[in-house]
Amino acid sequence: MNVSIVGATGYGGMELIRFLNNHPQFKIKSLHTSSQFGRSLYEENAHLMHMKDTLEEIDPEAIAKKSDIVFLATPSGVSSQLISEFSDLDIKVIDLSGDLRLQTPGEYENWYKKPAAPQHIIEEAVYGLAEWNAEAIKKATIIANPGCYPTASLLGLAPLFTEGLAGADADVIIDAKSGVSGAGKSPSAVTHFSEMNENFKIYKVNQHQHIPEIEQQLGRWSSGLQPITFNTHLVPMTRGIMATMYIKVNRETSNVELKDLYETVYENHPFVRVQPLDRYPSTKQVYGSNFCDIGVDYDERTGKVTVVSVIDNLVKGAAGQAIQNANILMGLEETAGLWNSPLYP
Amino acid sequence: MNVSIVGATGYGGMELIRFLNNHPQFKIKSLHTSSQFGRSLYEENAHLMHMKDTLEEIDPEAIAKKSDIVFLATPSGVSSQLISEFSDLDIKVIDLSGDLRLQTPGEYENWYKKPAAPQHIIEEAVYGLAEWNAEAIKKATIIANPGCYPTASLLGLAPLFTEGLAGADADVIIDAKSGVSGAGKSPSAVTHFSEMNENFKIYKVNQHQHIPEIEQQLGRWSSGLQPITFNTHLVPMTRGIMATMYIKVNRETSNVELKDLYETVYENHPFVRVQPLDRYPSTKQVYGSNFCDIGVDYDERTGKVTVVSVIDNLVKGAAGQAIQNANILMGLEETAGLWNSPLYP
Amino acid sequence: MNVSIVGATGYGGMELIRFLNNHPQFKIKSLHTSSQFGRSLYEENAHLMHMKDTLEEIDPEAIAKKSDIVFLATPSGVSSQLISEFSDLDIKVIDLSGDLRLQTPGEYENWYKKPAAPQHIIEEAVYGLAEWNAEAIKKATIIANPGCYPTASLLGLAPLFTEGLAGADADVIIDAKSGVSGAGKSPSAVTHFSEMNENFKIYKVNQHQHIPEIEQQLGRWSSGLQPITFNTHLVPMTRGIMATMYIKVNRETSNVELKDLYETVYENHPFVRVQPLDRYPSTKQVYGSNFCDIGVDYDERTGKVTVVSVIDNLVKGAAGQAIQNANILMGLEETAGLWNSPLYP
Amino acid sequence: MNVSIVGATGYGGMELIRFLNNHPQFKIKSLHTSSQFGRSLYEENAHLMHMKDTLEEIDPEAIAKKSDIVFLATPSGVSSQLISEFSDLDIKVIDLSGDLRLQTPGEYENWYKKPAAPQHIIEEAVYGLAEWNAEAIKKATIIANPGCYPTASLLGLAPLFTEGLAGADADVIIDAKSGVSGAGKSPSAVTHFSEMNENFKIYKVNQHQHIPEIEQQLGRWSSGLQPITFNTHLVPMTRGIMATMYIKVNRETSNVELKDLYETVYENHPFVRVQPLDRYPSTKQVYGSNFCDIGVDYDERTGKVTVVSVIDNLVKGAAGQAIQNANILMGLEETAGLWNSPLYP
């Protein structure tokens, strides 16, 4: 099967290349960019020398003719424009941006401060939280690949809500931390090495655009959900997200019960690794891989559960989950091309 | 005035040396260590060459004869032994460890898993949270210098509790992050460079020994306080702590009101810098300095206040606050020897 | 074909696992360690959960029965003992340590300060510099996998010596820099995060044990070679080696001529990527991959050539080249299981 | 005495503020910038809140009226313009840029690719290598503060040349490494965190503009000096320079002789710390301080001396040495305001 990548020169696009390069079934047919077409990808990206070549312009019809799937690895505000051109063609679209995720009219404009994609296309888009939405993904034409923070958060919270331990009044607090690659490839004062190195920053306090995405999915599991608290920080490292989450549960529980519950829920999901009792994951243990590692603790003093969930923001939080969705969509093994060991150390 | 340092070779001890070196009133009279006495400090600590010299053994009587103040920069479990020897001598003691902070009998053993110091000495010790306890500090003989996390947390929480915006049911959640120097100077698997670099870790989940210290002080401001939630993480950087805190407040408020409140409370406290509206501190802006920078946000969606508080764990979280306490104790300007610009970038 | 790994818990061993996991022809049959057998590998190495399991003790006969190749990823001084036990068995051995590399009797003891392996076994060992010794490697029974620094240095220097631009009086100076993973997995004061972070260190000044290894191979290309100057530094990063090298050449040359020469020499060697004119490699562009990227400059002012060569110390400098050698040995495509994109960013 | 800073918002300017803040004799009278005047310095530089305030425009006459010394902490190409305006006024000028360092007409244009300052002003400027040019500095009106790399290199090389161990044919090779703050405050692709983190880069291969500055000063010590080889690298850290240098010496020597020679030469220079036998400096041991630490090794195998010299690029390599020069100029203790312990860890 052939695939094309639009936005090949960004961090998400190049991470798609890294994995698709070694995929047993998918073949990268073409790489597309809005600005540098005609050039070799490796000119500006020395790491890809001897591996991948020419960049082409974005021509949806031409892409649809040669590929079965197109990955849109473009910034917010671009897919919402491109999607109309692709939606009439015979090609599956997997969109890595936030443009097609929010179903409620008006929400996208509120949080992203940009015009939304056509509402009928948004409604057609299936939310690609792979472990929880596989049935819909199999039948999708357009997949809205989840955001990096929502992926880590939702995979960590899901068992509490779906198994009835937490409900509308869970008073969810998500304190999330990310490596700097999440901020993309464009230089800025915040991501200038001398400013970000030896620094730990909070940003978009109580205003991150991933809040409605998380609430939307939690709301599907728990009607009447109260607003959540969600904050994000930058860690002086390139890759990795940790979401530390605090949830009020309905009743007393124990670490053993919690671990069993999580293990049962994720039994057939090889990318989610529930940690052994009294172990909590670090971001490095998923570096460069599609794993989401989760640890859970019930604090008897407060009656709250602490959930710690880690992913690589560029893999399970972007390119990896996108390929996982492509695998599901095409009826392949979910792990095809993605079953690599994390980079260590 | 003369001062001596016990535990001069640890990170806390050497940070005391860095500041006391340039203090206008205090003169370092002697440096003490349990293991390397007779040697030059700079043999193992090349950065101090041309600056400080011989290490001496720990002889309380000799120390009390030559110095007015002794700083105990020793690990937990050492001060609790040494303190008895110093308590009968004519010398002020400032203890940087956790050994003299917890007033309730049994609490220390519960959380530190070690035998406590004699209870009458603990009761004599004054909690050295400089901005909030100056009157008692002035009259103290023994000062229990606060922990790094409690300093960042309590300075950030205090105005809400002392000014009545938050109470017993505030449901305080503190998600704290620290640079690796907080783990001290002894090599270990966790702090091995190749393991900790490009990594973000959570540790002591819901079990950190600073929990009772924070609750004890909050309880002085708000009787009947419910247990707090407190977690700690390691950031791949050397210095800096951020506490991100979530508090349920009694009534609606606004960012303008909060900023005014914090500014008023800390008006005469030059080391606490309330950030301008819509600004939140990063750890680097206090690097190497005694500042505690605080930003506040009221989230209308949830009715919670987010407080972001940053310090340098080795300065305001240890050596700097210890010197600030020594200044107060000796009737000097609070800022004497401490009014330096943070290292930037 | 089946392979076994001795020393599976070290950084080299786990890097072998990472690649062999996805190798099309080799199957990891067993993992061995001297101390933790019977346990699961992932207990201490959380990143391998769901991937690899039980550790076994080191039993050469049992290993030879089930595997075609054994990789010895053990520290210096271990292979020299183990090798005798393996050398009589029907199994190919690829040794990643320095124990079998130095052919001249006495050299190993001089530089490693340990007893050498039996001289007849050393003489049987083939030096596994894959791009330059493939014919001998194909026929080898025991392969001495090159050191990390020698690999970067020799691949960068080779064309100058083999093509006659440099000779015995080239006055070679190699100033090498390495990420900290080269120091292995054992915690120490030097590799303690708070000491190594924001630090750049030189070590083993003019005394590194890789000096004779580099001279031995250069001497094969240029008889009568003068002693080289070689120094090594630690960079505050986990992976990557850069060798910056200064060579007096026999005659005037130009950057165009040099680039052509290098491209010709490495034409059929896909892992060596000669950089375009006026481009010089950074370590990150080979991160996690088996590439060696090389840039060259002729300085008209001094008549010297500067060669810049980068590798990932754990891949091309250890596990990757070992697998490349195994591929050659077994008659496979040299790139089998190794043709992955570097991790970026 | 009053001082003013032009270019107060750059890294060099803010480092001047950090030290001058606590200087016993100098008082910062005014801060100047070309673009943000009227604003508070701390608006963009949160670390200076409660410390320094208003930025003013650059008015040389007004500056000369209120200050005894002006520090020009502006980028290359700015001082060359400003200097004419200051040179007729009654004020001492210390220029931190490279604009006034190269005495030979044409050299500046060759290497900096910009128009030079008026030649008569360049000739008036005294090269401020504090340990070696104090007599001229005392009488100077304009001081050209040395570059960061030249400072580390020249302090390390000086004793060999001034004491006759090395001469014109010393074949000097300087392999230099710097923290990223040397690249200044403007964001760029090279200094983008995700690109520079976990990376080690070489730049300006054989073309760095500090080459003629080093050669000019070496030439004063050794006539007929052959061109030197000089290369520079970026280390993924914020501060610190190491110059690793290789020099052919005239005769056999020993580490003991070398150490004695260096200690004698630098006996009365407290900021230069010759390391004990067999010790070599790391950049971190001078972090944030004005020290230059030097280690030396004679390699009997090659007959070359290796000199390792480290500084903090922003202190001894810029602001610190500028203040040291101001101290000398004004007849103060050389160490006034600069005698602080390096930040550790």
Does C254 contact chain D (CB < 8 Å)? Answer: no
Yes or no, beta carbons of D341 and B181 under 8 Å apart: no
Say if C343 falls within a structural domain.
no
End-to-end CA, chain C? 34
Same domain, residue pair B201 and B292: yes
Size of interface A-C (CB pairs under 8 A): 96
Task: Name the minimum distance, in Å, from the CA of B342 to any CA of chain D.
Answer: 6
State the residue range of the domain holding C31.
Answer: 2-124
Q: How confident is the model over A225-250, as a mean pLDDT?
A: 98
Does D249 contact chain C (CB < 8 Å)? Answer: no
Nearest one of C196, C200, C152 to C176, comparing CA atoms? C152
Q: Give B-chain residues touching A191 at CB under 8 angstroms.
A: none
Neighbours of B53 (CB within 10 A): 12
Does C274 contact chain B (CB < 8 Å)? Answer: no
pLDDT-derived band at D211, boundaries 50, 70, 90: very high
Same domain, residue pair A178 and A309: yes
Q: Which two tokens stand for residue D3?
A: 């001082």
Does D187 contact chain A (CB < 8 Å)? Answer: yes
Q: A245: nearest CA in chain B?
A: B175
Dump pLDDT digits (tens) for A302-326: 999 999 999 999 999 999 999 999 9
Task: Name the minimum distance, in Å, from the CA of A45 to any CA of chain D.
Answer: 11
DSSP letter string over D154-195? HHHHHHHHHTTSS-TT---EEEEEE-GGGG-SS--STTBHHH
Q: Which of C181, C286, C340 sits opposite A22 (nearest CB)?
A: C340
> In whole numbers, what is the pLDDT of chain A averaged over residues?
97
Position B44 scores a pLDDT of 87
DSSP letter string over C196-263? HTT--EEESTTT-THHHHHHHHHHHHSTTPPPPEEEEEE-SSSS-EEEEEEEE-SS---HHHHHHHHH
CB B341 within 8 A of CB D314: no
Q: D289: nearest CA in chain B?
A: B47
Position D235 scores a pLDDT of 98
CB A79 within 8 A of CB A97: yes
Same domain, residue pair D163 and D116: no
Query: Rounded distance, CA A321 to CA A241, Å?
Result: 14
Does D183 contact chain A (CB < 8 Å)? Answer: yes
Dump pLDDT digits (tens) for A165-222: 999 999 999 999 999 999 999 999 999 999 999 999 999 999 999 999 999 999 999 9
Q: Is the pLDDT of residue B53 over 90?
A: no
Q: Give D-chain residues touching C179 at CB under 8 angstroms.
A: 198, 200
Say if A182 falls within a structural domain.
yes
Position C188 scores a pLDDT of 97
Dump pLDDT digits (tens) for D116-131: 999 999 999 999 999 9
- For A40, residues 6+ apart whose C-beta sits below 8 A from its C-beta are A53, A54, A55
Position D43 scores a pLDDT of 87
Q: Are strands C241-248 and B126-127 parallel, antiparallel or unpaired?
A: unpaired
Q: D11: nearest CA in chain A?
A: A194
List all chains that touch chain C, counting a touch as 3 or more CB pairs closer than 8 Å. A, B, D
Say if D217 falls within a structural domain.
yes
Same domain, residue pair A188 and A65: no
Q: How confident is the model over D72-79, as a mean pLDDT?
A: 95
Among candidate residues B78, B107, B124, the one where a domain is terminated: B124
Yes or no, beta carbons of A287 and C340 under 8 Å apart: no
Position B51 scores a pLDDT of 85
Task: Name the minimum distance, in Å, from the CA of B297 to any CA of chain A.
Answer: 7
Residue type, A274: V
Say if A136 falls within a structural domain.
no
Q: Give C-chain residues touching A344 at CB under 8 angstroms.
A: 11, 14-15, 18, 45, 47-48
Same domain, residue pair A162 and A107: no
Does A200 contact chain C (CB < 8 Å)? Answer: no
Among candidate residues B124, B158, B187, the one where a domain is terminated: B124
Dump pLDDT digits (tens) for C232-259: 999 999 999 999 999 999 999 999 999 9
Task: Name the minimum distance, in Å, from the CA of B79 to any CA of chain C.
Answer: 24
Looking up residue C74, the CATH number of its domain turns out to be 3.40.50.720
CB B210 within 8 A of CB B230: yes
Dump pLDDT digits (tens) for B262-278: 999 999 999 999 999 99
Query: Rounded distance, CA B129 to CA B140, Å?
Result: 13
Task: Name the minimum distance, in Å, from the CA of A307 to any CA of chain C.
Answer: 17
Same domain, residue pair B95 and B176: no
Give how many domains chain B has, as a whole number.
2
Sign, CA torsion A326/A78/B278/B200: positive
Q: D188: nearest CA in chain A?
A: A187
Position C221 scores a pLDDT of 97
Long-range contacts of B78-83 (CB under 8 A, 24+ apart): B78/B7, B78/B34, B79/B117, B80/B108, B80/B114, B80/B115, B80/B116, B80/B117, B81/B117, B82/B6, B82/B58, B83/B117, B83/B118, B83/B121, B83/B142
Q: Indicate which of B175, B195, B214, B289 best probes the interface with A, i.e. most A CBs within 10 Å of its own CB.
A: B175
Nearest one of A272, A296, A270, A292 to A283, comparing CA atoms? A292
Position A35 scores a pLDDT of 82
Size of interface C-D (CB pairs under 8 A): 135
- Token pair 């992932």 is found at C42
Residue type, D75: P
Q: Is the pLDDT of residue D36 over 80?
A: no
Q: Choosing from C117, C130, C143, C148, which is the catalytic residue?
A: C148
- Token pair 């001062």 is found at B3
> In whole numbers, what is the pLDDT of chain B averaged over residues?
97
DSSP letter string over A203-250? ESTTT-THHHHHHHHHHHHSTTPPPPEEEEEE-SSSS-EEEEEEEE-S
Size of interface B-D (CB pairs under 8 A): 98
Among candidate residues A61, A90, A124, the one where a domain is terminated: A124
Same domain, residue pair C207 and C286: yes
Q: How confident is the model over B31-41, as a mean pLDDT?
A: 87
Does D228 contact chain C (CB < 8 Å)? Answer: yes
Q: How confident is the model over C177-201, as a mean pLDDT?
A: 97
Say if B91 falls within a structural domain.
yes
Say if C138 falls within a structural domain.
no
Q: Which two tokens stand for residue B243?
A: 């506490």
Nearest one of C200, C308, C321, C191 to C258, comparing CA atoms? C308
Q: Give C-chain residues touching B181 at CB under 8 angstroms.
A: 194
Using DSSP, state whether D209 is helix, strand or coil: coil
Residue type, C174: I
| DSSP conformation class of C180 | G
Q: Which of A185, A188, A193 sits opposite D196 (nearest CB)?
A: A193
Does B291 contact chain D (CB < 8 Å)? Answer: yes
| DSSP conformation class of D222 | S
Does B278 contact chain C (CB < 8 Å)? Answer: no
Q: How confident is the model over B192-215, as a mean pLDDT?
A: 98
DSSP letter string over D262-321? HHHHTTT-TTEEEPPTT----GGGGTTSS-EEEEEEEETTTTEEEEEEEE-TTIIIIIHH
Q: What percent of chain D has pLDDT over 70?
A: 100
Dump pLDDT digits (tens) for C141-158: 999 999 999 999 999 999
Q: Which two tokens stand for residue B232?
A: 């700690």
Cα–Cα distances in Å, from A311 out to A150, A154, A173, A340, C238? 11, 12, 18, 14, 20
Same domain, residue pair C49 and C169: no
Dump pLDDT digits (tens) for A136-155: 999 999 999 999 999 999 99
Yes or no, beta carbons of C280 and D202 under 8 Å apart: yes
Q: Give D-chain residues touching C238 at CB under 8 angstroms.
A: 198
- ipTM of the shown complex: 0.97
Which DSSP helix (H) or strand (E) runs through D112?
helix D107-112
Position A142 scores a pLDDT of 98
Q: Is the pLDDT of residue D178 over 90?
A: yes
CB D212 within 8 A of CB D144: no
Looking up residue D219, the CATH number of its domain turns out to be 3.30.360.10
Query: Rounded distance, CA D53 to CA A24, Å?
Result: 62
Q: Choosing from A148, A157, A286, A305, which is the catalytic residue?
A: A148
pLDDT-derived band at A43, boundaries 50, 70, 90: confident
Q: Give A-chain residues touching D196 at CB under 8 angstroms.
A: 193
Same domain, residue pair C54 and C103: yes
Task: Name the minimum distance, in Å, from the CA of A93 to any CA of chain D.
Answer: 28
Q: Give C-chain residues touching A281 at CB under 8 angstroms.
A: 46
| Burial readout A108-128 (b: 16 or more C-beta within 10 A, e: otherwise) | beebbeeebbeeebbebbbbb
101-130 of D, contacting C, C-beta below 8 A: none
Q: Give D-chain residues touching A186 at CB under 8 angstroms.
A: 192
Yes or no, beta carbons of B198 and A237 under 8 Å apart: yes
Yes or no, beta carbons of A302 and B229 under 8 Å apart: yes
Dump pLDDT digits (tens) for A263-313: 999 999 999 999 999 999 999 999 999 999 999 999 999 999 999 999 999
Q: Is the pLDDT of residue A53 over 90?
A: no
| Residue, of C50 and D140, whose pLDDT is higher | D140
Query: Rounded distance, CA A243 to CA A306, Å?
Result: 10
The DSSP bridge partners found for residue B292 are: B272
Q: Choosing from D58, D73, D129, D148, which is the catalytic residue?
A: D148
Q: D234: nearest CA in chain A?
A: A193
Q: Give A-chain residues touching B171 at CB under 8 angstroms.
A: 171
Does A205 contact chain D (CB < 8 Å)? Answer: no
Same domain, residue pair D257 and D170: yes
Say if B343 falls within a structural domain.
no
Dump pLDDT digits (tens) for C25-46: 999 999 999 887 788 888 889 9
Yes or no, beta carbons of A344 and C18 under 8 Å apart: yes
Say if B344 falls within a structural domain.
no
Q: How confident is the model over A62-76, as a mean pLDDT?
A: 97
Determine whether B35 is exposed, middle or buried from the number of CB atoms within 10 Å of its CB (0-12, 13-18, 19+): exposed
Q: C183: nearest CA in chain B?
A: B194
Residues of B annotated as part of the active site: 148
Q: Give B-chain residues touching C236 at CB under 8 angstroms.
A: 193, 197
Same domain, residue pair C159 and C307: yes
| DSSP conformation class of B318 | I
Q: Give A-chain residues touching C46 at CB under 8 angstroms.
A: 275, 279, 281-282, 285, 293
Using DSSP, state whether A177 is helix, strand or coil: strand
Dump pLDDT digits (tens) for B278-324: 999 999 999 999 999 999 999 999 999 999 999 999 999 999 999 99
303-322 of B, contacting A, C-beta below 8 A: 304, 306, 308, 310
Same domain, residue pair A290 and A176: yes
